[in-house]
Structure 1
C-alpha cells in the first residue's frame, strides 16, 4: 500500500508488514524494512539523520553563499572568497574577488587552492552542519566514508583542508576548538616514496626525457627547488655570482623564506643550451613553448612520463620530481654539509628538514663505519 507522507517527494510502501520509504525520483531508500506502526515510522522520519539525508539533494543545488556564516557551507564560502561556487577555470589560478572573505586565500598556491576546493566540494552535502556542533568522531565517520568512496589520500586531503579552515573559524569565534587536531591519517604513507634516485635512473632521464619533463627535473636535481617554485622561476632570477658564475634568488611560497643560491655548473650549462626561450624568461615550459597551467599540471606530466618508463622497465619504482630534491640534499650531505646547511640549501628554515631529507645518508655512514671495524679484527 502507498500512503501520503508529510515530506514532499517521497513514497511510503508497506509490504509484508514492513515499511519502505523511497525518493520518488529514484535512488537508495531512506528507510528499508522498518517494523512498527505508521506513527512510529513518521517519528523515525523526523530524526535529524534521516532529515539530513532527505534534504541532501536540495543542499547540492544550493550555493554556499546561501548558507549562514555559522554553518560549514557559509564558512567555506567566506574562506574561499566564494570560489567554491565558481567554475574551477574561473577561479584558478586567478583568485576570487569579493568584498569580504579570508584575505590569505588568494595567496595560497594554485595547487593548494584546487586541492581545498575539491575537498570542500565533496563536503557540499554537509554544508548545513553547524560549525560549533562538529565533533571529531563525526569527522572520522565522514573521513572513513570518503576514503572508501574515493581513496584514502583524498580523505586526508579533505581533513587537511578542513583543519586549515577551522583554525580561522576558531580565531573568529565560530568554533570553540579545531576538531581536526590530532586526527590520524587514513592513508599509510610509503616510507620509500620520494626516495633518492639511483645514478642509472638519473642518467636515463637525462638522456631520454622530453625537454618539458627534463627542465623541471634538472632544476630539482641541481638546485633543489620544489615544484611550486620551479613552475614560476624565470631567467631574471639568475644573477651573476663570483663563486660559481650564477646564483638563483627565489622566495618559497610555502614558508616565505628568500634564498640566494649559487647554481651548480651542470644546471648553468643546461640552461644556457636551451633551444626555446620565452620573452618573459619563464624556464619551466612545455615543448611548444607555452607555460604550464599550474604546478600540478607540470607535476602530473613529469609523473606520467616516469610511470610509463617504469612500466617499460627502464627505471625503478618510486622516482618522483620531489625525489630529485632529495637527491640534491643527499649529494650535499655526502659532500660534508651539516643538517642546518642542507636545510638552507633547499630553502627550508628548520635544520630538522635537513635531517629529514638526508636520514638515509646517515644510515649509509653508520653502516660503512660498522664495516670499517672489520679491518681491526683478526
Structure 2
C-alpha cells in the first residue's frame, strides 16, 4: 500500500517500536500504534484517522470573529511576546492553547475572573495542577497583550491563584555515594552529561547544546566551558566555568577522538547512544530516565529512583556554599540573576572574577 501523503504531519517511531503521528503545527497527537509501517499506513488511510486529521487541520486554520477570546489568543500567538519564549515554553503553551480551544468562541469582554477560575479547575481535574498553572499563565498573557493593544479594559486572569506546589525535594542533592556509584555504572553516552552537571553545575538545556567550541583553553583556569546560558543569557552574557581535573580528563579524552580525527569545533560534546546530538533537552533526560530504569541502576542504587540531572546542579551549588562562597558568588557561577542584578555594571567581568576565584579555591581543596 502506498504511504499516505498528508501535509504537516510529524511521523516518528520510538525504540520500543511505537509510532506516533501528530500535526506538526500544533503538536496534537492524531495516532499512536505499535506496529509495522505498512500497518500504520493502512490506519492512516482509514476514515477514523482522516477524520481526526481534517478536524485538527480545520481547527488550526479556523478564523475567529473579532472580539472573541480565540481572536485574541491567535493574535498573541502570532505576536512578539510568544515568539520570544523559549522553544520548550512555546511547546507547553501550544498544548494549553489546544485545551483552551473550547473557549475560543466566547466574547472576550464577557469573560470574568470566575470564568478563568472555572477553566483553571477544569484543567486541574483533567490534566493536573501544574498544567492548570500553565492555563492561567496563557490566559493572563493573552489578556495582557490585548490590554496593551487597547482591545480589553482589564485582565480577568490577574490575581487568580495558582494550584501547583512544587515538591521541594524534587531535585534533591545527591550524596557522594550516589554520585560515585551512578557514575561508575553509567553508559558511555551519559558520562559527559553527568560529569558536566556535577562538576560545573550547568542546566540540562545548556549541556545538550554544548559543542567543542565551548571547551576552551584559559590563561587563569587551564580549561573552561564558556557559553551563553539559554536562561538569562541575554542579560548575563557569556559565562566561563573552570573545568576541574576529573572532568577535564574525560573531556580531553573525548576531544582526542580516535587519535587520528578529532571532532569538529561545532560537533556536540554530548551524544546519544547512536552517536548523534541530543535533539532536545527532553531527549537527553529520556536517556537518563532509561538508565535509571535499568537493572544495573536499580541494583546499585535501590533507594535512589528520585535522583535527577538537575539535582547535580543543586549538588554543585550546595558544595560551593559549604566552601564559604557567598550567595552572589554561587549565583554568578550558575549564571543566575538576583533582584539587584539589573543595577550592577560590568556583569561579565564580575562573573569571570568569581569563576577564577572559585576555580582556584576548588583546585586547592582537591589537592
Specify the alignment match of 1:149 in structure 2: 126
In structure 1, which of residues 202, 226, 229 is the aligned counterpart of residue 206 of structure 2?
229
In structure 2, relative to structure 1, the CA distance for the partners of 1:345 and 1:142 (3 Å cut) is same
Question: Which one of the candidate residues 217, 238, 242 is aligned to 2:215?
Answer: 238
Superposition RMSD in Å:
2.9
Deviation at 1:246? 1.1
Closer/same/farther in 2, CA of residues 304 and 147 from structure 1, 3 Å limit: farther
Q: What is the rounded CA distance, in whole Å, between the counterparts of 2:112 and 2:298 in structure 1?
A: 44
Name the CA shift for 1:105/1:142 in 2 (closer, same or farther; >3 Å).
closer
Greater relative contact order: 1 or 2 (C-alpha under 8 angstroms, separation 6 or more)?
2
Secondary structure of the 1:305 match is: helix
SS for the counterpart of 1:77 is: helix
SS of match in other structure, 2:80: coil
Which one of 294, 303, 325 corresponds to residue 289 of structure 2? 303
Deviation per residue, 1:290-330 (Å, 9 max, x gap): 12222222223323433557765534243111111111111
In 2, the alpha carbon distance for the partners of 1:351 and 1:62 equals: 42
Q: Does 1:347 align with 2:335?
A: yes
Is the 8 Å Cα contact of residues 272 and 287 (structure 2) preserved in structure 1?
no
Query: Partner of 1:247: helix, strand, or coil?
Result: strand
1:44-96 CA deviation, whole Å, 9 max, x = no partner? xxxxxxxxxxxxxx99943365114543322333333xxxxxxxxxxxxxxxx
Q: Distance in 1 between matches of 2:339 and 2:329?
A: 8
1:179-190 matched pairs, under 5 angstroms: 179-190=156-167
Q: Could you say which residue in structure 2 is the equivalent of 1:319?
A: 307
Structure 1 residues 344, 278: CA separation in 2 closer, same or farther (over 3 Å shift)? same
Distance 1:210 1:240, change over 3 A: same
Distance of aligned partners of 1:271 and 1:144 in 2 relative to their CA distance in 1, 3 Å threshold: same
Equivalent residues of 1:72, 1:130 under 8 A apart: yes
Match 1:272 to one of 252, 259, 263: 252
TM-score between both structures, scaled by the size of structure 2: 0.67
Distance between the aligned counterparts of 1:305 and 1:165, measured in 2? 40
- Partner Cα separation in structure 1 for residue 142 and residue 94 of structure 2: 12
CA contact (8 A) 1:197 1:323 kept: yes
Gaps of 5+ in 2: 1-54, 342-367
SS in 2 for 1:63: helix
2:277 aligned residue: 291
Cα deviations across residues 238-259 of structure 1 (Å, max 9, x unaligned)? 2211232112222222222222
Q: Is the 8 A contact 2:204 2:310 kept in 1?
A: yes
In 2, the alpha carbon distance for the partners of 1:124 and 1:151 equals 18
Q: Give the structure-1-normalised TM-score.
A: 0.65
1:113 aligns with 2:90: yes
Say whether the 8 Å CA contact 2:136–2:162 is kept in structure 1: no
Change (3 A) 1:67 1:240: same
User: Equivalent residue of 1:186, what SS?
Assistant: coil
1:133 to 110, 113, 122: 110
Aligned length: 277
Contact 2:130 2:163 (8 Å CA) reproduced: yes
| Alignment map for 1:16-55 (pairs within 5 Å) | none
- Note if contact 1:111-1:296 (Cα within 8 Å) is conserved in structure 2: no
Instruction: Return closer, same or farther for 1:205/1:141 CA change in 2, 3 Å cut-off.
Output: same
Contact preservation (8 Å) 2:172, 2:311: yes
Match for residue 76 of structure 2? 79
Which protein is bigger by CA-based radius of gyration?
A: 1
Structure 1 gap segments, 5+ residues each: 1-57, 81-100, 354-378
